[in-house]
Structure 1
Amino acid sequence: MRGIGMVARHELRGRLLTGPWLAVMAVWFVVVNGLGVLYRLGLAVLGSTTGGVSTFGAVLVAVLVLTLAMVPALAAQATSLERGTPARATAADLALGRFAAVWAAGTILLALAFPCLALPVLEGAVGIGRAVVVITVAAVLVGVVSAISVMWSAVLGRAAVSALAAYLSLFVLLAGPPAAFQVAAVLVDAAASERRADLVWWLQAPQPVLVMADAAPRPDGTAVIDGTVTSVERADPLTTIGKQLRQTRVRDGDSGGGPVWPYGLAFDLALAAGALWFAARRVRLP
C-alpha cells in the first residue's frame, strides 16, 4: 500500500495537478456550474415547481458523461507508467498507483460540480441519502473508466495511441450496450412474433449512465406538472431513465421490473479489475 500511495502522489503532483490541468479544472468549474444555473433559471422561467429535482438529475448525467470523457486524457499524461516513477515501486504499485491518481483526478472533476448539485439538497428537493448514493455510484463508474484507461497506457505506452484506444473503449461502453440491446430485441421480437425484450435486457446493463440512473433512490413528494398534481418522479430524469430500463425486464404489458444496476455495476467492476490485472502484468519496471 505504501508503494501505491507513493506512486499516486508522484503522479498527482508531477503530472495531473500541474498548471495546465489546474487551468482546465478552473474552466470546468465555471462552465459546469454556469450551465447548471442557466438550466435551473430556464426551468424557473417556464414556471416549473420541480427545478431542484430536474436540475440535480440532468446536471449529474451531464457531469458523469463529461468526466468520463476527460479520464482518458488524464491517463495519457505520461507516455509510460514507469517513466519518472519511484525506483522502489513494484509493477503492481505502478499500475495501481497510476490508477489511484487518475481516479482521484477524475473524482475531483466530479466534485467541482458540487455547488450546482448541493443547491437542490439544501433546498430539500433532493434527500441527502439519495444524493450520496448517486454521487458515490458516479465516482465508482469514473474509477471503472480510469482502470480501462490505465490499462491502455500500460499496454500501448505512447500517449496519443493509448488515449485513442481509451476513447474507443469509452465509446463502446457508452454506446455499445444500448445498441446491442436494440439489435437483439429486434431479432428476438422477430423470432418470437411478439415483443420479448425481457429476454435480452441484460445487454444494456453495463452502460454507465443507466447504472447510475437505476441505482438512484426514487424521490418522494408531489408537484404540479402541466397543471396537475402528480408525483415528483415525473420531473426527475434519473427516475425516468431507471423506470424505462426496469420495464425492459418484463414482458410487454406487464409492470414491476426489478433493478438492473447491480448486474451492470458488477460487470463494470469485473471489467475494471481485469484491466488493472492486465496493466500490472504489462507494465515495465524502471
Structure 2
Amino acid sequence: MTQVPPPPVSSAPAAAPPSAGTSVPSSGRPTWWGIRTVASLEARQRLRSTRWKIALGVWALIVGLVTLGVVTTINAMGGADETAGRVAFGLVLLFVLLLGLLVAPTLSATSINGDRTSGTLAVLQATTLSAWDIVLGKLAAAWLSALAFLAASLPFLVWAFALQGTSVAGAVGGVVAVAFVLLVVCAIALAMSALVARTSGSAVLTYLVVAGLSIGTPIAFGLTSQFVTSGHETVQVYGYEDYDDDVCTWYTNQRWVTHTERTAWMLVPNPFTIVADVGATGAVQRGWSSEDPMTMLSYAVRSALAGGSGEVHECWSEPGGGWRETQHNQPYWPWGVGVYALMGAGSIWFAARRLAIPARKLPKGTRIA
C-alpha cells in the first residue's frame, strides 16, 4: 500500500502594505498625524463647551476694566507721557500673566485623569496613537486655549502700548515670554493629571507648583537673607563721612553686608521676574529712576544678583543716591527660560511614561476601560 505524502505547508499570506495615501504612526514615537488628531479632538470639545466661552468673555471683561482703570488713573495724575506709558503697559502685562497663571492649570490639569475616569482614554490608547501623540496633542490643545485668552488681551495691551514709552522689542518679548510661561504651566498640569487619579488632586498640585514659583521664591529669598549676612566687612562708601560734612566723599567703613548673590538664584525662575526682565529690554539702565513695574522688578533682581559687597552710594543729593552702583548688568531671563524648558520637557516625558502601554502599575481604583 503506497503512502500518500502530506500536503505541503503553505506560508501565511503576507500583510498588505499600507496604501500610499495612508499615514500609519509608529508606536512609541510622536507623529504629526497623531498629535494633530488628538489636538483637534480636544479643541472641538472645548469649542462646544459653553463654560469655556463664558470664561473667555469674563477674562476680556476683567482685563478691559483693569486697563481702563490704569489709563484713567494715569490721565487723572497729569496725563500720559513715556513714563506713564511704560507703567500702563507693565501693569497690564503683569496682570495678564497673573490671570494666566490662574487659568492655565485648569486647561490641562484634568485632561488625562478626567479621560481615564470617563473611559475615553482607553479608547485612544487602543488605537495606533502613541503615548507621545496623546500627551503632545493634549498639550497643544491646552496651550492653544491659553493663547486664546492671551489673544483676548492683545487689544488692551495695544491700547497701553499706544501711550508710548515701551519699546517694540520689550512689548513683543514680554508677550512671547507670557505665552512661553503658559506653555510650561500647561505641561506641568498635564504631568500632574497623569500622576494623580483624582482631578481635584491634580488641580491642587498644579496650583501649589505655580504658587511655589510665583510666591514661594521671593519668600524663600527673604527668609534666607539672615543666613548670608555677615558683619564688620570693609566697604567703600560714597557719602557724608561725618554729620557736619556738606560734600560727598569716598571713605572706608565697616558694615554688615548681606550677600544676596548667594541666594538670588531663587528669584530667577519666578515667572514675574522672567517676564519683567524680557519686557524691560533697553530700559533697565534707568534703574529705580523709572517708575514702571517691569523695569523696577528687573533692576531689583539684577541688584540682588550683583550681591551686597562692593561700593555703596549714599549721597542722596546726587543721581543714584542710596543704591549700589555695582550691578549685575547681564540679563538673567535666559537662565529662567532654561529652567522652565527643563521643567516643561520633564513634565512631558513623565506624562508620556505614565501613558505607556502596557502599564506596569496604576493607582488604586483607576479605571482601565
Which one-letter code corresponds to 1:251 in the other structure? Answer: G
CA distance in 1, matches of 2:176, 2:342: 18
Which one-letter code corresponds to 1:276 in the other structure? Answer: I
Q: How is 1:113-132 mapped onto 2 (pairs within 5 angstroms)? A: 113-132=153-172
Given that 1:71 and 1:145 are in contact with CA atoms closer than 8 Å, whether structure 2 keeps it comes out as yes
- Which SS does the other structure have where 1:113 is aligned? helix
CA distance in 2, matches of 1:162, 1:16: 23
- Which SS does the other structure have where 1:24 is aligned? helix
Deviation (angstroms), 1:190 = 4.5
Deviation (angstroms), 1:17 = 5.9
Asked if 1:53 is matched to 2:109, the reply is: no
What is the aligned partner in structure 2 of residue 34 from structure 1?
65
Residue 22 (structure 1) aligned to one of 53, 61, 86: 53
Asked if 1:101 is matched to 2:120, the reply is: no
Which one-letter code corresponds to 2:274 in the other structure? Answer: V
The gaps in structure 1 that reach 5 residues or longer are 221-229
CA distance in 2, matches of 1:81, 1:210: 35
1:49-89 CA-partner distances (Å, limit 9, x unpaired): 33322111001111101111111111135443555364332
Residue 114 (structure 2) aligned to one of 71, 80, 84: 80
Given that 2:195 and 2:354 are in contact with CA atoms closer than 8 Å, whether structure 1 keeps it comes out as yes
Q: How is 1:203-218 mapped onto 2 (pairs within 5 angstroms)? A: 203-218=266-281
Deviation (angstroms), 1:5 = 1.5
Which one-letter code corresponds to 2:95 in the other structure? Answer: A
The structure, 1 or 2, with the larger RCO (C-alpha pairs under 8 Å, 6+ apart) is 1
Deviation (angstroms), 1:248 = 0.7
Moved more, 11-20 or 200-209: 11-20
Q: How is 1:216-255 mapped onto 2 (pairs within 5 angstroms)? A: 216-218=279-281, 234-252=290-308, 253=312, 254-255=325-326
Deviation (angstroms), 1:179 = 2.0
Given that 1:3 and 1:97 are in contact with CA atoms closer than 8 Å, whether structure 2 keeps it comes out as yes
Deviation (angstroms), 1:199 = 1.7
CA distance in 1, matches of 2:144, 2:341: 17
Which one-letter code corresponds to 2:293 in the other structure? Answer: P
Given that 1:126 and 1:219 are in contact with CA atoms closer than 8 Å, whether structure 2 keeps it comes out as no
Residue 180 (structure 1) aligned to one of 220, 225, 228: 220
CA distance in 1, matches of 2:57, 2:106: 16
Deviation (angstroms), 1:123 = 4.4
Asked if 1:66 is matched to 2:99, the reply is: yes
CA distance in 1, matches of 2:344, 2:53: 27
* TM-score, structure 1 as length reference: 0.88
Which one-letter code corresponds to 1:65 in the other structure? Answer: L
Deviation (angstroms), 1:264 = 1.5
Structure 1: which 4+ aligned runs deviate by more than 4 Å? 190-193, 230-233
Asked if 1:149 is matched to 2:189, the reply is: yes
1:112–1:232 distance in 2 versus 1, CA, 3 Å: farther
CA distance in 2, matches of 1:30, 1:190: 50
The gaps in structure 2 that reach 5 residues or longer are 1-31, 234-255, 313-324, 358-368
Which one-letter code corresponds to 2:276 in the other structure? Answer: A
Aligned-pair Cα RMSD in Å: 2.4
* Structure with the higher helix share, 1 or 2: 1
1:106-164 CA-partner distances (Å, limit 9, x unpaired): 12112211111012334443232221111101110111111100001111132211111
Asked if 1:161 is matched to 2:161, the reply is: no
Q: Which has the larger radius of gyration?
A: 2
What is the aligned partner in structure 2 of residue 282 from structure 1?
354
What is the aligned partner in structure 1 of residue 247 from structure 2?
none
- Which SS does the other structure have where 1:194 is aligned? strand
1:139-198 CA-partner distances (Å, limit 9, x unpaired): 101111111000011111322111111111111111222122222222111488521111
CA distance in 2, matches of 1:17, 1:207: 35
CA distance in 1, matches of 2:47, 2:269: 28
Residue identity over aligned pairs, in percent, reads 28
Given that 1:52 and 1:119 are in contact with CA atoms closer than 8 Å, whether structure 2 keeps it comes out as no
